[in-house]
């Protein structure tokens, strides 16, 4: 398969009909690492909003079990789409996510913003540091996956297009970004998770490299100083050099999708493993387009363990 073969196929597809397939190609084949990096930056952007970071700070989940909290966030989103968002499994994952959020009184506008970061963050990272920019069909597919997630979470006012998500994202940050000590605490806990993946002597450098690609409004809201200018110049150049190298490599074969690695679950996971332990004591509510009887049918059988391919390779 040629490097651009999949892109040519995507450009012939209709995102309104094929957005889930296009999304799987983006996340498992074309930009798996870049998509995850964009999602990680999206997590940090959430902490620039005091109302969001104070809630996360009160739960102490990143302090007590940061790696699990990080893995669970990535994996629940993955489980919602891996068999189709309207499959039985996709709906069960959405119910589980809603059950976790149902414990807290979260304003709709905060839900909207967090959802927007998961659409806008990966797009902007890929366009900046990926081996190519996203095409129009891929961009709209990200937005359509975000819109469907928002519908399943019963979020009001979810945009229909990427442009709508981007406008919501930027307007919200201009209004709501502000420093709060909770921002710094939650961001620091998350950085400890991200840098723990490296040998101990390299963790300080890894944290500085991560901060070097963040924009000044976000750094200010998180309470971090900008990194020295040479570092802010060199790190993007290194990432773009990596992209140029990847551009020369062959496309990932269809038989080898790159799926999430979960350090918390080296032998696989089920939906029941994901989320705080107390979540399972709360009964799941039907999705907005379900009746209680439809929900009962969808949750009648336990979800099977899922073992990512790359954990055994």
Query: What pLDDT is stored for residue 281 in this prediction?
Result: 77
Task: Give the pLDDT band (50/70/90) at residue 298.
Answer: low
Specify the pTM: 0.90
Residue range 183-188: mean pLDDT, rounded: 96
The owner of tokens 């970004």 is: 177
Query: What pLDDT is stored for residue 141 in this prediction?
Result: 98
Q: What is the CA radius of gyration of the chain?
A: 19
Residue range 101-124: mean pLDDT, rounded: 94
In degrees to the nearest 10, what's the CA dihedral of 68, 73, 79, 85? 170
The owner of tokens 């990143």 is: 62
3-state secondary structure of 269: strand
Task: Give the pLDDT band (50/70/90) at residue 292.
Answer: low
Q: Does the pLDDT value for residue 310 go beyond 60?
A: no
Least confident of 78-92, 208-222, 288-302: 288-302
Query: What pLDDT is stored for residue 293 in this prediction?
Result: 56
Residue range 121-150: mean pLDDT, rounded: 98
Least confident of 11-20, 47-56, 259-268: 259-268
Cβ count near 25 (within 10 Å): 22
Q: Does the pLDDT value for residue 9 go beyond 80?
A: yes
* Pairwise CA distance, residues 259 & 111, whole Å: 26
Q: Number of helices (H) and strands (E), helices first, in the chain?
A: 14, 0
Query: What pLDDT is stored for residue 305 in this prediction?
Result: 52
With beta carbons less than 8 A apart as the criterion, state whether 91 and 152 touch: yes
Question: Which of 33-42, 192-201, 278-287 has maximum average pLDDT?
Answer: 33-42
Residue range 132-139: mean pLDDT, rounded: 98
């Amino acid at each position: 398969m040629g490097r651009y073969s999949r892109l040519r196929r995507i450009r012939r597809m209709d995102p309104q009909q094929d957005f889930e397939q296009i999304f799987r190609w983006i996340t498992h084949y074309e930009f798996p690492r870049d998509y995850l990096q964009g999602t990680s930056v999206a997590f940090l952007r959430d902490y620039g909003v005091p109302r969001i970071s104070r809630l996360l700070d009160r739960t102490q989940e990143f302090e007590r079990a940061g790696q699990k909290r990080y893995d669970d966030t990535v994996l629940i989103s993955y489980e919602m789409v891996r068999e189709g968002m309207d499959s039985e499994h996709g709906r069960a994952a959405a119910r589980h996510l809603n059950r976790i959020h149902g414990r807290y009184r979260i304003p709709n506008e905060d839900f909207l913003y967090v959802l927007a970061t998961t659409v806008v963050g990966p797009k902007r990272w890929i366009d900046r540091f990926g081996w190519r920019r996203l095409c129009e069909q891929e961009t709209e597919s990200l937005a359509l996956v975000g819109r469907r997630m928002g519908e399943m979470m019963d979020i009001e006012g979810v945009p229909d297009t990427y442009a709508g998500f981007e406008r919501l994202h930027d307007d919200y940050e201009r209004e709501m970004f502000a420093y709060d000590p909770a921002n710094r605490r939650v961001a620091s806990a998350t950085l400890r998770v991200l840098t723990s993946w490296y040998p101990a002597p390299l963790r300080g450098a890894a944290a500085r490299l991560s901060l070097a690609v963040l924009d000044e409004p976000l750094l200010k809201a998180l309470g971090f100083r900008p990194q020295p200018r040479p570092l802010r110049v060199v790190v993007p150049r290194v990432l773009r050099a990596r992209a140029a190298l990847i551009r020369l490599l062959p496309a990932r074969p269809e038989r080898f999708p790159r799926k999430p690695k979960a350090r918390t679950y080296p032998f696989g996971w089920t939906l029941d493993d994901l989320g705080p332990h107390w979540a399972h004591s709360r009964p799941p509510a039907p999705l907005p387009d379900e009746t209680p009887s439809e929900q009962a049918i969808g949750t009648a059988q336990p979800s099977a363990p899922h073992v990512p391919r790359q954990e055994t390779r």
